[in-house]
C-alpha cells in the first residue's frame, strides 16, 4: 500500500510504501480489545476506599442489654445497619492494571493502524515545523490540509513552535512514533504522521 506525502501547504511531496503487513482479515480484533481494555484499566486510580465495621470510630460497648427492652438485638454502635457504621463489602484501594504481552500488543497496534490506513484516515506530511509558535498559524495549516474533527499528530519529537501552537486546540493531540499506542490510533478521527514518525512506527511493527 502506498500513501501520498503532503507538505504543510497541502501540496504533494511524494509517496511512501508501507513497510509492514496490512492485516486484511479479522485477525487481531481480540488483541485490540484486550489492549484497549488494559490501557483504560491502567488509567483508573483505584483509590476509592470505605471503612469497615472494624475501622470506623465508635465504642465496643453493647448499646443495650440483649433481652427485655423490646428492641432488636444490637451488639455494636459500628454496625453496618446503623448510621455512621461501617460499610459492608465496600471498595478498597486496588490495582486495576492488566497485563498484555508484547506480541499481543504489537498485533493490536498493527491491526489498528491497518484499519485506519484502509479507511483513509491516515495522512502523511513531510514535517510539522512552524515558523512561529502561534495558534493562528497552526489553525491555518489545519484549514489548508482540510482537517477537522479530532486529530492526532504523531511526530518524532516535540518541536517547540509546533508544541506551543497546537496546545491551545482542544481537538488536537500529539504523540511520538515511539510511544503512540493502540488506544491513541482509535480514539481520533484523523491521524497525521510525519514521514519520520511513521518510519518509527514501522520499525516497531517490524521488530520481533
Place of cell 497546537: 166
pLDDT value at 104 more than 90: yes
DSSP 12-36: EEEEEE--SPPP-SSTTHHHHHHHH
Rounded to whole angstroms, the Cα distance separating 139 from 50 reads 48
Convert the pLDDT of each residue in 182-203 to its tens digit: 999 999 999 999 999 999 999 9
Where exactly are the structural domains of the chain? 2-45+98-206, 50-90
Give the Cβ contact number of residue 24 at 10 Å: 8
pLDDT value at 124 more than 90: yes
* CA dihedral over 201, 206, 27, 178, signed as positive or negative: negative
pLDDT at site 207: 65
- Share the mean pLDDT of the chain: 92
Rounded to whole angstroms, the Cα distance separating 145 from 154 reads 16
* CA dihedral over 13, 17, 20, 22, signed as positive or negative: positive
Pairing of strands 122-125, 2-6: parallel
Report CA dihedral (12, 18, 24, 29) to the nearest 10 degrees.
Answer: -100
Convert the pLDDT of each residue in 41-73 to its tens digit: 999 999 999 999 999 999 989 999 999 999 999
Q: Give pTM, 2 decimals.
A: 0.83
Domain spanning 2-45+98-206: CATH superfamily: Ribosomal protein L4/L1 (3.40.1370.10)
pLDDT at site 3: 87
3-state secondary structure of 124: strand
b/e code 76-104 from CB counts within 10 Å (16+ = b): bbbbeeeeebbeeeeeeeeeeeeebeeeb
pLDDT value at 208 more than 70: no
Convert the pLDDT of each residue in 142-184 to its tens digit: 999 999 899 999 999 888 899 999 999 999 999 999 999 999 9
pLDDT value at 19 more than 90: no
Overall residue count recorded for the chain in this entry: 208
Amino acid at each position: 500500500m502506498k500513501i501520498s506525502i503532503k507538505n504543510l501547504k497541502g501540496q504533494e511531496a511524494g509517496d511512501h510504501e508501507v513497510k509492514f503487513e496490512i492485516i486484511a482479515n479479522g485477525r487481531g480484533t481480540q488483541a485490540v480489545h484486550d489492549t484497549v481494555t488494559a490501557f483504560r484499566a491502567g488509567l483508573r486510580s483505584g483509590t476509592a476506599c470505605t471503612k469497615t465495621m472494624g475501622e470506623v470510630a465508635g465504642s465496643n460497648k453493647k448499646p443495650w442489654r440483649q433481652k427485655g427492652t423490646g428492641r432488636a438485638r444490637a451488639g455494636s454502635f459500628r454496625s453496618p445497619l446503623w448510621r455512621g457504621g461501617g460499610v459492608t463489602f465496600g471498595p478498597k484501594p486496588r490495582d486495576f492494571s492488566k497485563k498484555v504481552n508484547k506480541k499481543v500488543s504489537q498485533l493490536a497496534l498493527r491491526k489498528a493502524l491497518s484499519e485506519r490506513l484502509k479507511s483513509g484516515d491516515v495522512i502523511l506530511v513531510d514535517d510539522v515545523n512552524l515558523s512561529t509558535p502561534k495558534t493562528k498559524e497552526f489553525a491555518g495549516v489545519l484549514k489548508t490540509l482540510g482537517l477537522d474533527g479530532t486529530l492526532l499528530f504523531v511526530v518524532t519529537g516535540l518541536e517547540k513552535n509546533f508544541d506551543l501552537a497546537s496546545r491551545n486546540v482542544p481537538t488536537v493531540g500529539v504523540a511520538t512514533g515511539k510511544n503512540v499506542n493502540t488506544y491513541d490510533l482509535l480514539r481520533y478521527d484523523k491521524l497525521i504522521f510525519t514521514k519520520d514518525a511513521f518510519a518509527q512506527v514501522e520499525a516497531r511493527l517490524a521488530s520481533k
